[in-house]
């Protein structure tokens, strides 16, 4: 299969060829588009025990937001190098598992389009209704030629199903799961969003979200993330993480914690620094200048490192005594829902 100009997949395949000793690599789906067939890869590093904490990284759900894929590939490259000599990382991975799905929507990344090859916005594709009825960007079923098209109500797109399968088969048995889905394009700031995207209602892990935020704020007081429920900024229908979160809550053990985070990299500041951006192929979704791109590839390493520590030492936020949970719930309600 010859892909002309698909640097992200080329980079991923080169990485995979170096990873073999450390990782389990699967092609979990093939997507046909025109004359081509595109693989969707899933890479798993670390402990294979079902009961260890898991952190999973997802990129390229919206194909034109390529920087998310690139950030994940850059992180994988670093881990690959560290695993050759850094005993600290090697022992970390004996106690946690890292999962990577860097190119969820390969046709979208290949073409530089938000939607998949069927014109569907995968992050509007889940069979779950939000309260966002009036805005086109909330997701609609009018036509696949308009952006934010939700697709068929009765059957999810193969890419969305592949993502759900990874969550169900490789994450959902774990007592502690952090998912990070990387996007770009909204606003000036980098945001970390937790559910819900579809309704202005606190999700069950709100106390844990607040405790995690407090731990991050105290450990890295100069971090630059706005941490909030996604519905604070806008409300959408068919969000995969809302859907998977509700499913997890129904099926998982009572004390299991699932923290799906969307890392929305604020790209309007890239635009402010070079307004010509708007007229480029990837518009405001991708930093164009090499030094700016490099800066973004390393910008989130502190966060990723923090998350792996938070997964290793969950007693400080994910498995709190009931009185502390209630305290965090009160603070969270005041911070986000008052």
Minimal distance in Å, beta carbon 121 to Zn ion?
Answer: 9
The answer to whether residue 124 forms part of the interface with Zn ion (CB under 5 A) is: no
User: Is the CB of 101 or the CB of 172 nearer to Zn ion?
Assistant: 101
- Give the three-class secondary structure for 312: helix
Pairwise CA distance, residues 115 & 123, whole Å? 9
The answer to whether residue 62 forms part of the interface with Zn ion (CB under 5 A) is: yes
Pairwise CA distance, residues 234 & 74, whole Å? 30
Q: How far apart are the first and last CA of the chain?
A: 54
User: Is the CB of 230 or the CB of 303 nearer to Zn ion?
Assistant: 230
Q: x/- contact string, 173-202, with Zn ion (CB under 5 A)?
A: ----------x-------------------
Under rule CB under 5 A, how many of the chain's residues touch Zn ion?
A: 3
User: Is the CB of 62 or the CB of 213 nearer to Zn ion?
Assistant: 62
User: Is the CB of 53 or the CB of 68 nearer to Zn ion?
Assistant: 68
Pairwise CA distance, residues 262 & 183, whole Å? 7
Pairwise CA distance, residues 159 & 103, whole Å? 10
Task: Name 65's Cβ contacts closer than 8 Å, sequence gap at least 6.
Answer: 114, 182, 183, 184, 185, 285, 286
- Which residue stretch of 11-19, 59-67, 238-246, 320-328 sits at the interface with Zn ion (rule: CB under 5 A)? 59-67
Pairwise CA distance, residues 105 & 237, whole Å? 19
148 backbone φψ class: left, alpha, beta (φ>0; ψ -120 to 50): left
User: Is the CB of 231 or the CB of 308 nearer to Zn ion?
Assistant: 231
- Which residue stretch of 42-50, 65-73, 94-102, 239-247 sits at the interface with Zn ion (rule: CB under 5 A)? 65-73
Pairwise CA distance, residues 144 & 142, whole Å? 7
Minimal distance in Å, beta carbon 93 to Zn ion?
Answer: 29
User: Is the CB of 281 or the CB of 291 nearer to Zn ion?
Assistant: 281
User: Is the CB of 183 or the CB of 191 nearer to Zn ion?
Assistant: 183
Phi, psi dihedrals of residue 258, rounded to the nearest 5°: -120, 120
Instruction: List strands edge to edge, sheet with 36-46.
Output: 23-33, 36-46, 97-101, 54-59, 176-184, 257-265, 190-194, 225-229
Q: Which residue is nearest to Zn ion (CB)?
A: 183
Minimal distance in Å, beta carbon 278 to Zn ion?
Answer: 17
The answer to whether residue 286 forms part of the interface with Zn ion (CB under 5 A) is: no
Minimal distance in Å, beta carbon 17 to Zn ion?
Answer: 29
Minimal distance in Å, beta carbon 181 to Zn ion?
Answer: 8
Query: Scanning the structure block, which residue is given the tokens 């890419």?
Result: 159
Helix (H), strand (E) at residue 295: helix 290-299
Minimal distance in Å, beta carbon 183 to Zn ion?
Answer: 3
Residues 10-29 that bind Zn ion (CB under 5 A): none
User: Is the CB of 66 or the CB of 97 nearer to Zn ion?
Assistant: 66
- Which residue stretch of 62-70, 75-83, 87-95, 218-226 sits at the interface with Zn ion (rule: CB under 5 A)? 62-70
Number of separate helices (H) and strands (E) present in the chain:
11, 8
Minimal distance in Å, beta carbon 243 to Zn ion?
Answer: 16
Minimal distance in Å, beta carbon 92 to Zn ion?
Answer: 29
Minimal distance in Å, beta carbon 195 to Zn ion?
Answer: 16
Residues that bind Zn ion (CB under 5 A): 62, 65, 183
């Amino acid at each position: 299969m010859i892909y002309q100009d698909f640097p992200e997949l080329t980079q991923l395949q080169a990485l995979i060829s170096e990873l073999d000793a450390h990782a389990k690599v699967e092609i979990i789906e093939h997507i046909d588009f025109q004359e081509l067939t595109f693989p969707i890869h899933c890479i798993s590093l670390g402990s294979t025990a079902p009961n260890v904490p898991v952190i999973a990284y997802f990129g390229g759900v919206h194909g034109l937001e390529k920087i998310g894929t690139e950030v994940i590939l850059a992180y994988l490259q670093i881990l690959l190098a560290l695993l050759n000599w850094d005993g600290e990382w090697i022992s970390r991975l004996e106690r946690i598992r890292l999962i990577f799905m860097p190119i969820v929507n390969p046709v979208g990344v290949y073409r530089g389009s938000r939607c998949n090859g069927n014109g569907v916005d995968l992050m509007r594709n889940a069979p779950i209704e939000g309260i966002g009825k009036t805005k086109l960007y909330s997701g609609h079923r009018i036509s696949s030629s308009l952006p934010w098209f939700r697709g068929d109500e009765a059957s999810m797109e193969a890419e969305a199903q592949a993502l759900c399968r990874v969550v169900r088969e490789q994450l959902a048995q774990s007592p502690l799961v952090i998912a990070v889905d990387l996007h770009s394009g909204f606003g000036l700031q980098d945001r970390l969003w937790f559910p819900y995207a579809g309704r202005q209602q606190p999700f069950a892990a709100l106390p844990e979200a607040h405790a995690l935020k407090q731990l991050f704020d105290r450990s890295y007081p100069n971090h630059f993330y706005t941490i909030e429920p996604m519905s604070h900024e806008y409300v959408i229908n068919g969000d995969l993480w809302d859907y998977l979160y509700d499913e997890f809550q129904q099926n998982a053990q009572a004390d299991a914690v699932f923290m799906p985070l969307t890392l929305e990299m604020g790209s309007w500041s890239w635009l402010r620094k070079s307004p010509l951006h708007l007229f480029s192929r990837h518009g405001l979704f991708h930093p164009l200048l090499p030094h700016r791109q490099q800066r973004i590839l390393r910008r989130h390493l502190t966060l990723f490192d923090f998350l792996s520590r938070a997964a290793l030492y969950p007693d400080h936020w994910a498995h709190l005594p009931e009185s502390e949970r209630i305290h965090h719930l009160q603070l969270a309600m005041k911070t986000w829902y008052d």
